[in-house]
Chains A and B, each alone.
Chain A
Amino acid sequence: MAKTILIVDDSESIREVVSFTLENAGYNVIIATDGTDALPHFDGKEIDLLLTDLHMPNMNGIELIREVRKIDAYKRIPILFLTTESQRDKKVEAKEAGATGWIIKPFVPAKLLAAINKVMR
């Protein structure tokens, strides 16, 4: 069965690139625009991986990760976040919040898939 990935990003172009890449790679993709939009998806349905941006309105990525980790059913799903090379301390903060790994922007599709492959089969 195809794995389901939830993509959370406030930038439409990023969402499009990412979902195009992932759908082509055979994943099911669900889309949310920010943390508050994303959180209701964690209602018990099958989500195999969360891929989220950090800077977002309403609820940012780090808060979202903390909230998701509070829900028992999603305590152990892999979580990847999108970040830029300069945000070194953000990485630490996100990891402390419970993220599994990161993807550095800008990225090519192959890099994205490789990072996902690292945490999920």
Chain B
Amino acid sequence: MDSFQKKFIEEATDLINNLELAVLALEQDVKNQELIAEVFRIMHSLKGGGGMFGFEDISHFTHNLETIYDEVRNGNLPVTEDLLSVTFSSVDHLRNLLNQDALNNEHIKKNHEILLERVKAILQKKDTLQVVADEEQVEEDSKSKLQTIYIYFAPNESIMDNGTNPLYLIDELCSLGTNSLVFPRTNKIPMLSRFNSSKCYTAWEVFMVSDVNLNEIQDVFIFVEDESEIEVKKIADFDVLANENFIEKIQNLYQKKNHFDPAVIKSLVKDIANQKKSVVANVNEKLKVFTKENIISSIRVSSDKIDQLMNLVSELVTTQASLSLYVEENQVYELNLLAENIENITRQLRDTAFSISLIPIETMLTRFHRLIRDLSTEFNKNIEFITEGAETELDKTLIQGLTDPLMHIIRNSVDHGIEPEDERIKKGKTPQGMIYFKAFYSGANVVIKIQDDGRGIDLEKVKQKAIDKEIIASDAKLSEREILDLIFIPGFSTAKNVTDVSGRGVGMDVVKRKIDEIRGSVELESKENIGTTITIKLPLTLSIIDGLLVVIGDTKYVMPLNLVNKIYAYEHETFKNAFNNIVIVDGEQIPFYYLRDEFEIPGTPLEVEQLVLVKYEDKKIGLVVDNVVGEYQAVLKPLGKLYKNHEIISGATILGDGTIALVLDTNKIINEFSFKN
């Protein structure tokens, strides 16, 4: 596949996502002209792009849909339930069609034909069907006579010999317009050795918006027209420079090629003319969502490149640690300053590189909106999906790992949680159920909460099921919390019947495992008839952590610094004589784990040892180590598959002197050792 097609697929994927958003919004507000225009515009772009890059099926498929939405736009067709349903199905089908061989698949082909028929049926309902307006016919804003003019000015090399300053001419030219963009064409400038400062090597290309006639513009160059190449031509009957997209595009073109290809400019202008055609005056809030995208200046980078950058930054962090260590050992004053500087810059570089690979949770939400819409239609339930904190950003690998578990949780909420309308009314609840999605930062974590106001989890039922499945003994006395935790145990599922949605053999145990894989934790709370809340806590990133470097015996360990509360020094006797592994710290009873023993490290303990207080849920727990070295930025490397079952170690990191330190997962350590004891 050539790179243009790849580019088209990327673009089309965005377009289809936007289409889905727009149709979802349109469903709520079927008269909204902005949204109708947006849907039309997307259909139009898909059709055009599809034809150009060899996706004939897409082009063919969107043709009639485009016509329909054009009719809707002109008020000749209403937005009906049927139309929305066809459009939703088309969104999915379009995604399939991005694979060029899609129609070789029987199933997809059948679907394709059915959808085409349905689209045709809608069109035929309208007797006075008109053909889509010719692309060339752009509705002009009759009030403004502004036009966009392209000027090319290439002066003779010796133009400055007779006292002409070409820059003055450019200035004068720009003064004739309301807005202008000037691009110097610099490709004729020779190397410095052959450069003659009295010669003019530059040519200029100017895009100008103005209401003056072309002769007046030509007059600017009156003194130099004989010895210069001058081209003045109108490229549009409207203000093209008002379109940020255009500006961005020509700036990109300029950076790539240093000059403009008239054909490319023409097609760009045509695109805008088409967009302009579909833009209607009243701007409401929903549209702002779409325009916002155009304003943000951003570039696409392949995720491989970002991974590569992250890897390099990781290496840099490791190398920088070596440097710091060397400086510390050798005490060279000048080098010390440099090393500190590099440390500072590395830290900033690390943070910037991180922020690049962060993407907002928003990117997942459309899928959830859609899921809830489809499921509520299927189960005939009335559900409102409320989201908060969609702008919260997460590492892209985390988002990838998170989508499936979240989909599953939401499916559960719709299927098992929210009751049908009549049942809700009987219970005295609002007829419309609610699923509330909230994401927010909490320290070095991101927390995602999914809450529903459904029937909640029946604890008795869960307990009974666990007894039936022999997960617990029939006389086990469990707290509410412990019963809820049963749900996460592999092989547990409360659904009575296997439905299409949940209960496909993927239970909450898989959700938990998947979230564990990305070093997150999941918690479940539920009140009968009030609802269920699932809280997922995730680290901001996976690859580099700020850690505390500690030593036990000959081995070095890193603890996540964000979990470390305080560090105390105690004599070994204190721990040896402690009753029930509890020490009194600042008048508080603190349970502790003596890591030298827990890790079974041989050797004689030191006389004075360090007690590191770490946060565990809402408690403080002590971990006893020999020595604390200091803060350390640890680049987390996986241990490899042989060690993947050692949950208490989340990875390893290479220290400045080349030795290896193990990165401890303190939560898991406390979990594991508290069960053992």
Which residues does A use to contact B, with CB under 8 Å? 75-79, 92, 95, 98-102, 117-121
Residues of B within 8 A of A95 (CB): 162, 226
Asked if B163 contacts A76 (CB within 8 A), the reply is yes
Residues of B within 8 A of A118 (CB): 168-169, 172, 220, 223
Determine whether B165 belongs to the interface, using a CB cutoff of 8 Å to chain A: yes
Beyond the given A101-B222, A118-B220, please list 19 additional residue pairs across the A-B interface where CB-CB is below 8 A.
A76-B163, A76-B198, A77-B163, A79-B162, A79-B163, A92-B226, A95-B162, A95-B226, A98-B162, A98-B163, A100-B164, A100-B223, A101-B223, A117-B168, A117-B172, A118-B169, A119-B163, A119-B164, A119-B168
Asked if A102 contacts B162 (CB within 8 A), the reply is no
Residues of A within 8 A of B345 (CB): none
Residues of B within 8 A of A100 (CB): 162-164, 223
Question: Which residue of B has the minimal Cβ distance to A117?
Answer: B172
Residues of A within 8 A of B161 (CB): 75-76, 98
Residues of A within 8 A of B160 (CB): 76
Question: Which residue of A has the minimal Cβ distance to B220?
Answer: A118
> What is the CA–CA distance of A77 and B220 in the complex, to the nearest angstrom?
19
Question: Which residue of B has the minimal Cβ distance to A98?
Answer: B162
Residues of B within 8 A of A92 (CB): 226
- Chain B interface residue count, CB cutoff 8 Å, equals 15
5 closest pairs, A vs B, by CB? A101-B223, A78-B163, A100-B163, A100-B162, A98-B162
> What is the CA–CA distance of A58 and B582 in the complex, to the nearest angstrom?
115
Question: Which residue of A has the minimal Cβ distance to B227?
Answer: A95
Question: Which residue of A has the minimal Cβ distance to B164?
Answer: A100
> What is the CA–CA distance of A75 and B198 in the complex, to the nearest angstrom?
11
Question: Which residue of A has the minimal Cβ distance to B159?
Answer: A100
Q: CB within 8 Å of A: which of B193-230?
A: 198, 220, 222-223, 226
Asked if A119 contacts B222 (CB within 8 A), the reply is no
Residues of A within 8 A of B223 (CB): 100-102, 118-119
> What is the CA–CA distance of A95 and B169 in the complex, to the nearest angstrom?
17
B219: shortest Cβ distance to chain A, in Å? 10
> What is the CA–CA distance of A95 and B228 in the complex, to the nearest angstrom?
14
Question: Which residue of A has the minimal Cβ distance to B226?
Answer: A95
> What is the CA–CA distance of A118 and B221 in the complex, to the nearest angstrom?
9
> What is the CA–CA distance of A117 and B220 in the complex, to the nearest angstrom?
11
A-B contact pairs, 29 of them (CB 8 A): A75-B161, A76-B160, A76-B163, A76-B198, A77-B163, A78-B163, A79-B162, A79-B163, A92-B226, A95-B162, A95-B226, A98-B161, A98-B163, A99-B163, A100-B162, A100-B164, A100-B223, A101-B223, A102-B223, A118-B168, A118-B172, A118-B220, A118-B223, A119-B163, A119-B168, A119-B223, A120-B168, A121-B168, A121-B171
Question: Which residue of B has the minimal Cβ distance to A49?
Answer: B163
Which residues does B use to contact A, with CB under 8 Å? 160-165, 168-169, 171-172, 198, 220, 222-223, 226
B62: shortest Cβ distance to chain A, in Å? 53
> What is the CA–CA distance of A120 and B220 in the complex, to the nearest angstrom?
14
> What is the CA–CA distance of A75 and B161 in the complex, to the nearest angstrom?
7
A95: shortest Cβ distance to chain B, in Å? 7
> What is the CA–CA distance of A6 and B164 in the complex, to the nearest angstrom?
17
Residues of B within 8 A of A102 (CB): 223
Most A C-beta atoms less than 10 A away, residue of B163, B165, B171, B172: B163
> What is the CA–CA distance of A118 and B163 in the complex, to the nearest angstrom?
11
Residues of B within 8 A of A79 (CB): 162-163
> What is the CA–CA distance of A92 and B226 in the complex, to the nearest angstrom?
9
A70: shortest Cβ distance to chain B, in Å? 13
Question: Which residue of B has the minimal Cβ distance to A65?
Answer: B162
Residues of B within 8 A of A119 (CB): 163-165, 168, 223
Asked if A99 contacts B172 (CB within 8 A), the reply is no
Residues of A within 8 A of B198 (CB): 76
Most B C-beta atoms less than 10 A away, residue of A75, A98, A117, A118: A118
Residues of B within 8 A of A75 (CB): 161
Residues of A within 8 A of B164 (CB): 78, 100-101, 119
Residues of A within 8 A of B162 (CB): 79, 95, 98-100
B173: shortest Cβ distance to chain A, in Å? 11
> What is the CA–CA distance of A98 and B159 in the complex, to the nearest angstrom?
10
B212: shortest Cβ distance to chain A, in Å? 14
Residues of B within 8 A of A101 (CB): 164, 222-223
Question: Which residue of B has the minimal Cβ distance to A121?
Answer: B168
A115: shortest Cβ distance to chain B, in Å? 8
A73: shortest Cβ distance to chain B, in Å? 13
> What is the CA–CA distance of A92 and B424 in the complex, to the nearest angstrom?
94
> What is the CA–CA distance of A76 and B200 in the complex, to the nearest angstrom?
13
Most B C-beta atoms less than 10 A away, residue of A77, A92, A98, A119: A119
A86: shortest Cβ distance to chain B, in Å? 17
B547: shortest Cβ distance to chain A, in Å? 62
Residues of B within 8 A of A117 (CB): 168, 172
Most A C-beta atoms less than 10 A away, residue of B164, B172, B223: B223
> What is the CA–CA distance of A42 and B162 in the complex, to the nearest angstrom?
17
> What is the CA–CA distance of A77 and B164 in the complex, to the nearest angstrom?
8
> What is the CA–CA distance of A55 and B385 in the complex, to the nearest angstrom?
87
A72: shortest Cβ distance to chain B, in Å? 12
Residues of B within 8 A of A120 (CB): 168
> What is the CA–CA distance of A12 and B234 in the complex, to the nearest angstrom?
45
Residues of A within 8 A of B222 (CB): 101
Residues of A within 8 A of B163 (CB): 76-79, 98-100, 119
> What is the CA–CA distance of A100 and B168 in the complex, to the nearest angstrom?
13
> What is the CA–CA distance of A89 and B160 in the complex, to the nearest angstrom?
22
> What is the CA–CA distance of A98 and B164 in the complex, to the nearest angstrom?
10
Residues of B within 8 A of A98 (CB): 161-163
> What is the CA–CA distance of A79 and B161 in the complex, to the nearest angstrom?
11
Question: Which residue of A has the minimal Cβ distance to B223?
Answer: A101
Residues of A within 8 A of B220 (CB): 118
> What is the CA–CA distance of A42 and B222 in the complex, to the nearest angstrom?
28
